[in-house]
């Protein structure tokens, strides 16, 4: 196997490869771009016109997605997977990956869309670098752009595998992309309603990619991910990479639950209290009238929405950041109905 196929090994060791460019026997080019970053280019005449960005490890302790990307890249380097798309593999936060922590100084996935300019430290520098890598990768005109940013969650979930669909002004969510996500094993999709500061929001809003944050289960250490089933996603990614994906023309959204953001719960001060058990799962239902949270100045979040659920509850975030999202069922009427 080509040495550049061991990008994860190089990243965890903090080593730079002796050779920056290698070719497989089939003429696929692997090019090391920097720490945790590798570009794959198919042979001439075999390119389907897709630019696919696959990122993982934005949070260093979310290892199942990292291991998934490692398997895909090793398959390419061995010649078992034959790409017909350009691919950029990114391991987002090498420092946190090496220590097994969510982050080193600051949550990297809250530093995109210019937010890193208001901060400092290793994660702020890395967010800037990742934006630059993604911008350069998606700079070719006339190509299809797709980004999957793969994560696992801090806590358990009533719906274990789900996607977050970033908001972009003037663009409806694509039914085609939702069908692809359903085929990849996603049980639910959250349609976001305003700009965000996460990585997939940057590539969606600034680089015009179809971009998604995928939550694949609960975070576990390296080598302990037998309980995180990514078989359907892995198979679909191989098909996308090789240009063998089944047609989405007749694809169904059956079984895919759609949600929209009703409100974000923002922590304003250290007086913030979240009235939920510490082990509450994502997508837990909240009854009407329930007092969800309180903060200084008599600020209160009381559930008013029908069918409301909570995701990403975290009262330990810094003041000014999101401590949870209240979501509600969404209608398919919000979608771009085209499958062309």
DSSP annotation of 157: B
Confidence class for position 340, pLDDT limits 50, 70, 90: very low
Confidence class for position 252, pLDDT limits 50, 70, 90: confident
Which positions make up the binding site for Zn(2+)?
Answer: 59, 62, 151
The pLDDT tens digits for 302-315 are 999 999 999 999 99
| This prediction's pTM | 0.93
Average pLDDT over residues 123-135: 98
Mean pLDDT of the chain, nearest integer: 94
Q: Are 324 and 312 in contact (CB under 8 A)?
A: yes
What pLDDT was estimated at residue 338? 52
Domains and CATH numbers, the chain: 3-242 (3.40.630.10), 265-334 (2.40.50.630)
Cβ burial of 274 (10 Å; 0-12, 13-18, 19+) is buried
The pLDDT tens digits for 71-114 are 999 999 999 999 999 999 999 999 999 999 999 999 999 999 98
Q: For CA atoms 307, 153, 53, 106, give the dihedral sign.
A: positive
DSSP annotation of 315: T
The pLDDT tens digits for 173-196 are 999 999 999 999 999 999 998 899
Task: List, by residue number, the catalytic residues.
Answer: 215
Average pLDDT over residues 57-69: 96
């Amino acid at each position: 196997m080509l040495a550049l196929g061991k990008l994860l090994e190089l990243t965890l060791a903090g080593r730079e490869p002796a050779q920056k460019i290698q070719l497989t026997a089939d003429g696929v080019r692997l090019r090391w771009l920097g720490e945790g970053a590798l570009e794959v280019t198919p042979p001439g005449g075999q390119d389907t016109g897709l630019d696919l960005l696959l990122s993982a490890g934005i949070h260093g302790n979310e290892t199942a997605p990292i291991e998934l990307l490692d398997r895909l890249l090793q398959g390419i380097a061995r010649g078992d997977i034959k790409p017909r798309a350009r691919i950029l593999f990114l391991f987002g936060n090498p420092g946190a990956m090496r220590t097994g922590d969510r982050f080193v100084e600051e949550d990297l996935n809250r530093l995109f869309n210019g937010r890193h300019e208001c901060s400092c430290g290793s994660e702020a520098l890395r967010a800037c670098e990742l934006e630059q890598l993604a911008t350069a990768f998606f700079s070719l005109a006339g190509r299809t752009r797709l980004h999957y940013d793969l994560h696992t969650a801090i806590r358990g979930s009533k719906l274990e595998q789900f996607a977050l669909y970033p908001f972009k002004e003037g663009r409806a969510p694509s039914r085609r992309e939702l069908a692809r996500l359903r085929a990849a094993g996603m049980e639910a999709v959250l349609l976001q309603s305003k700009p965000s500061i996460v990585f997939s929001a940057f590539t969606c809003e600034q680089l015009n990619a179809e971009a998604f944050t995928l939550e694949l289960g609960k975070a576990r250490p390296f080598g302990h991910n037998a309980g995180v089933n990514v078989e359907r996603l892995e198979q679909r990614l191989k098909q996308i990479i090789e240009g063998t994906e089944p047609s989405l023309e007749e694809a169904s959204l059956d079984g895919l639950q759609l949600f929209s953001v009703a409100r974000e719960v923002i922590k304003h001060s250290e007086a913030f209290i979240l009235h939920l058990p510490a082990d509450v799962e994502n997508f837990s239902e909240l009854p009407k009238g329930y007092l969800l949270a309180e903060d200084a100045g008599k600020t209160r979040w009381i559930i008013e929405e029908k069918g409301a659920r909570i995701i990403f509850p975290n009262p330990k975030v810094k003041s000014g950041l999101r401590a949870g999202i209240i979501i509600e069922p969404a209608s398919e009427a919000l979608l771009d109905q085209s499958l062309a």
